[in-house]
């Protein structure tokens, strides 16, 4: 008997969905049928099975969702919905690849505006940050690629291309997307998930990293502005599809409470992290430093690790509850 294997990641940018119960119920027809196999790896093992109580709760959610799924009347996507999804997929993929693979300014910008290079040297993961140490973006593993953008609160890897796919000059396309959101649970869950991530982005925090770390050239500062304009465009596209006033969608109450608690603590850490990165990068190679300066640099590295962990945990608050 065929069993679909769900190899989902932890973060949304890696294919995960923290709203596990709704995610299972929104699966396409005839993909579960009482049988569910899924991977839990990396940080998700500790998060979902780190203590007996949490492990029992996680298994309760899986069991309840799979049992209920058998009695849910699934929506079979219409042919015009499938065609619309093909259009969205093609346009969004092209938008993503244009920036990441075809834009010559992107790699220098990415490496300056995020702690990607530092993540590779700090040895804080279970595997090397790159499959090929000499490779470019294409050699990055999924975790540091997503993790670097999470640190700057831009979350680029989770939403890049979405705004392009959901935006159309044809009014019929917009109406069809709105119809799909109202009538197709799988599509609605996907859009709500992106909306939740967008509500966690912070325009001013991301810009502060650019202001402190990116070379003041017209090319790189211009690209940073373009990326943030794309973020605004994606937020507007989500609001159009959902006919909502808040980009957080159904997560709005949870996110409002979580943000009120989280931001006063995490925002200052982001500011300090940008300053630490600026200072570390100005110090030069270890071999060229005297003993006193090297000691100071090592202390800054320790502080950077603390800031990385703090921001990661702060951003995970909503993921765990969402």
Q: pLDDT digit string (tens) for 37-73? A: 887 776 678 878 889 999 999 899 989 999 998 888 8
The predicted pLDDT at position 202 comes to 92
The C-alpha atoms of residue 68 and residue 34 are separated, in whole angstroms, by 9
Sorting pLDDT into bands at 50, 70 and 90, what band is 35?
confident
More confident residue, 92 or 129: 92
The predicted pLDDT at position 9 comes to 56
What is the mean predicted confidence (pLDDT) over 6-18?
Answer: 61
Question: What is the SS3 string spanning 72-112?
Answer: CCCCCCCHHHHHHHHHHHHHHHHHHHHHHHHCCCHHHHHHH
Sorting pLDDT into bands at 50, 70 and 90, what band is 156?
very high
More confident residue, 15 or 35: 35
More confident residue, 21 or 303: 303
More confident residue, 18 or 108: 108
Contact in structure between 273 and 115 (CB atoms under 8 Å): yes
Is residue 37 helix, strand or coil? strand
The predicted pLDDT at position 11 comes to 61
| Among 31-45, 65-79, 262-276, the least confident range | 31-45
Q: Which contiguous run of DSSP H or E holds residue 19?
A: none
pTM of the model: 0.82
What is the mean predicted confidence (pLDDT) over 214-221?
Answer: 96
The C-alpha atoms of residue 8 and residue 20 are separated, in whole angstroms, by 11
The predicted pLDDT at position 271 comes to 97
Contact in structure between 258 and 314 (CB atoms under 8 Å): no
Matching residue, tokens 């993790």:
147
Percent helix, strand, coil in the chain, to 5, is 70, 0, 25
CA nearest neighbour of 9 among 319, 322, 321, 273 = 319
What is the mean predicted confidence (pLDDT) over 296-309?
Answer: 93
Torsion sign, CA atoms 144, 112, 94, 178: positive
Q: 114 CB contacts (<8 Å, ≥6 apart)?
A: 148, 149, 151, 152, 209
More confident residue, 268 or 259: 268
Sorting pLDDT into bands at 50, 70 and 90, what band is 199?
confident
| Among 57-61, 131-135, 273-277, the least confident range | 131-135
| Among 177-181, 220-224, 285-289, the least confident range | 285-289
The C-alpha atoms of residue 93 and residue 151 are separated, in whole angstroms, by 24
């Amino acid at each position: 008997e065929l069993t679909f294997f769900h190899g989902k990641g932890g973060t949304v940018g890696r294919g995960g969905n923290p709203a596990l119960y709704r995610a299972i119920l929104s699966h396409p027809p005839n993909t579960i049928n009482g049988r569910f196999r899924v991977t839990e790896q990396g940080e998700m093992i500790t998060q979902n099975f780190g203590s007996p109580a949490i492990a029992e709760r996680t298994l309760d959610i899986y069991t309840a969702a799979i049992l209920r799924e058998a009695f849910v009347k699934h929506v079979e996507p219409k042919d015009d919905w499938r065609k619309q999804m093909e259009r969205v997929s093609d346009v969004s993929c092209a938008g993503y690849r244009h920036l990441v693979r075809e834009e010559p300014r992107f790699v220098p910008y990415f490496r300056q505006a995020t702690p990607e290079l530092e993540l590779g040297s700090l040895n804080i993961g279970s595997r090397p940050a790159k499959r090929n140490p000499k490779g470019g973006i294409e050699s990055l593993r999924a975790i540091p690629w997503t993790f670097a953008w999470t640190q700057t609160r831009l979350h680029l890897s989770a939403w890049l291309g979405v705004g392009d796919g959901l935006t159309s000059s044809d009014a019929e396309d917009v109406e069809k997307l709105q119809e799909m959101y109202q009538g197709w649970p799988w599509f609605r869950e996907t859009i709500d998930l992106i909306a939740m991530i967008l509500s966690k982005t912070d325009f001013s925090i991301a810009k502060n990293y650019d202001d402190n770390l990116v070379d003041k050239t017209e090319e790189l500062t211009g690209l940073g502005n373009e990326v943030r304009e794309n973020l605004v465009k994606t937020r507007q596209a989500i609001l159009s599809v959902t006919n909502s006033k808040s980009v957080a969608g159904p997560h709005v109450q949870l996110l409002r409470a979580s943000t009120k608690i989280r931001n006063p603590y995490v925002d200052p850490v982001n500011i300090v992290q940008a300053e630490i990165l600026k200072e570390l990068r100005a110090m030069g190679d270890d071999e060229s430093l005297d003993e006193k300066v090297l000691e100071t640099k090592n202390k800054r590295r320790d502080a950077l690790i603390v800031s990385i962990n703090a921001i990661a945990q702060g951003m995970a608050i909503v993921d765990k509850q969402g």
